[in-house]
Amino acid sequence: MPWILRNENLSFIDSLFISTSAVCVTGLTTINISDFNIFGELTLLILMQLGAIGIMTLSTTFILAIKGNINLKQKINFIKTQSNNSLHDVNHVLRFILRITFISEFFGAILLSIGFYLQGFSILGAIHYGIFHAISAFCNAGFSPFDNSLIGMNNLIKYTIILLIIIGGIGYYVIYELYNKFKTKKKLSLHSKIVLISTVSLIIIGTVFIYFLGSNNISITDSLFQSVTARTAGFNTVKLKDLHYLSLFFIVFLMFIGASPGSTGGGIKTTTFFIVFISIINILKGETTIKVFKRQISNSMILKSFAVLSSYFAIIFIGTLLLLYHTSYGFFNTMFEVTSAMGTVGLSVGVTSELENYGKLIIILIMFIGRIGPASIAMITFSKKNQIKLKIKYPEEAIY
């Protein structure tokens, strides 16, 4: 649409890039978001909101809203995408998803509006930026109308963004279980316990690592912010180029892991990382089974976790090679950008904004794969469960 930008038209390839980035809630962009006018920003917000809630969740919710209920087949499809095992709870979870989304964004917008007003913006400007950043943060998108993202903003803005990112990235079902635990004293599932432990651990470790190895003048608040935002949000309160390479490398690690299942974020997911990590430790100990909180994790789940991990490694490796073939930004910077795209993070060291059409198309494809990849693998796995398998066992043989 010719009225999206303030002063010039947007090329088709850039339109495709930013649309993909918004729907995949990535945050990478080939032009400054400050060039968008109010119509452009509104379009971005709609795309981010649709992408965050998810196509399956959104369509199922529309069916629920129109019919007042959903049939068994639709419930099962929804469960496959949400890692939810209870048919009885699906209707409540769907309503809860929309409720927690808009409640979080509403109160986040209020706090951010106050923060931007204290930052020196006018009342209308503060409300405008408050709403935009609240939706962008909860959706883990990382889009900001400011060219320098959130560098130089006050702590109210930073901590509100941190809270919104965590709520949006922890997974709807974990929030649903926490709500039920507070309401009915019901115990948390193994899934929720793993998500909470992984999330808290990664935030603390990331904060400490970035604080001590980031740069000489980085504060604990900025270290915490970068630790949280690296796991799929994409905002930044410090210039990434000013950080030490060790910190940037650890940020790559956090981007690779990403958020939790059923959330607005990407990455291999915290549960996948947890299962892989525990599996490796148990293998080194010589144990044949994996037990967590007096529960055993199935071999099929372990294999799926390693399959997702390997798939992400392979795609990042291939994407980095393809970009290096036609660009000269160096190995680390290129890998950083590809990992950011694959994890739908949006952090950039300046490579994306300088890419030509070839590089833009590669990043578009990687963002798309990063967003739908795990869900697609899960759906394929579920569909194969319905196939009849012959119970044939072959003799085992050792491999050295």
Instruction: Name the most confidently modeled range: 50-59, 90-99, 126-135.
Output: 126-135
Residues 126-148: pLDDT tens digits? 999 999 999 999 998 889 999 88
Instruction: For residue 358, tell me if it sits in a domain.
Output: yes
Helices (H), the chain: 12-23, 38-53, 55-67, 72-82, 90-118, 123-138, 155-169, 172-184, 190-213, 220-229, 245-257, 270-285, 299-326, 331-342, 357-385
Torsion angles phi and psi, residue 296, rounded to 5? -95, 135
Cβ 140 vs Cβ 168: under 8 Å: yes
pLDDT at residue 280 greater than cutoff 70: yes
Closest CA to 132 of 8, 32, 33: 33
CB 319 within 8 A of CB 346: no
d(C-alpha 1, C-alpha 218), whole Å: 41
Spell out the residues 6+ positions from residue 213 whose beta carbon is closer than 8 angstroms to its own: 244, 246, 247, 250
Model confidence at 84: pLDDT above 70: no
* Residue reference for tokens 């209020």: 110
Determine the average pLDDT of the residues in 329-335. 91
The answer to whether position 33 is within a domain reads: yes
Q: Which residue has the higher pLDDT, 364 or 82?
A: 364
Residue 338 belongs to some domain of the structure:
yes
The whole model's pTM is what? 0.86
| Rounded Cα gap, residues 207 and 200, in angstroms | 11
Closest CA to 232 of 343, 349, 149, 68: 343
Which are the contacts of 5, defined by CB distance < 8 A and separation ≥ 6? 35, 36, 37, 40
Does a structural domain hold residue 126? yes
Tell me, yes or no, whether 232 lies in a domain: yes
Closest C-alpha to 166, from 261, 236, 58, 265: 265
Beta-carbon contacts of residue 107 (< 8 Å; ≥ 6 apart): none
Across 17-31, 159-173, 375-389, least confident range: 375-389
pLDDT of residue 263: 81
In the predicted model, what is the mean pLDDT of residues 9-28?
90
Pairing relation of β-strands 290-292 and 295-297? antiparallel
Q: Is the pLDDT of residue 63 over 90?
A: no
Handedness of CA 82, 257, 234, 366 (dihedral sign): negative
Per cent of the chain over pLDDT 70 is 87
Residue (of 194, 249, 191, 199) closest to 228 by Cα position: 199
Show Cβ contacts of residue 21 under 8 Å, excluding neighbours closer than 6 positions. 27, 28, 29, 346, 367
pLDDT computed for residue 172 by the predictor: 79
Is the pLDDT confidence value at 3 over 80?
no
- Percent above pLDDT 90 for the chain: 42
Cα 233 versus chain centre, distance? 6
315 falls within a domain: yes
Domain hosting 277: range is: 12-385
What's the total number of domains in the chain? 1
Give the single-character DSSP code of 34: G
Which residue has tokens 């529309």?
A: 62
DSSP at 387: S
The answer to whether residue 400 is domain-embedded is: no
Examine residue 70 and state whether it is found in any structural domain, yes or no.
yes
* Structure tokens belonging to residue 89: 């709870």
CB 235 within 8 Å of CB 150: yes
Summarize the confidence of residues 227-240 as an average pLDDT.
89
Cβ-proximal residues to 282 (8 Å cutoff; 6+ apart), any chain: 289, 290
Residue 77 has pLDDT above 80, yes or no: no
| Distance (Å, whole) CA 148 – CA 151 | 6
Residue-level pLDDT at 396: 83
Using alpha carbons, list the distances in angstroms from residue 158 to 137, 221, 223, 226, 278.
11, 8, 11, 10, 33
CB 256 within 8 A of CB 235: no
End-to-end CA distance of the chain: 61
250, 157 contact by CB (below 8 A): no
Per DSSP, helices labelled H in 232-298 are: 245-257, 270-285
More confident residue, 383 or 244: 244
- In terms of residues, how long is the chain? 400
* pLDDT for 116: 95
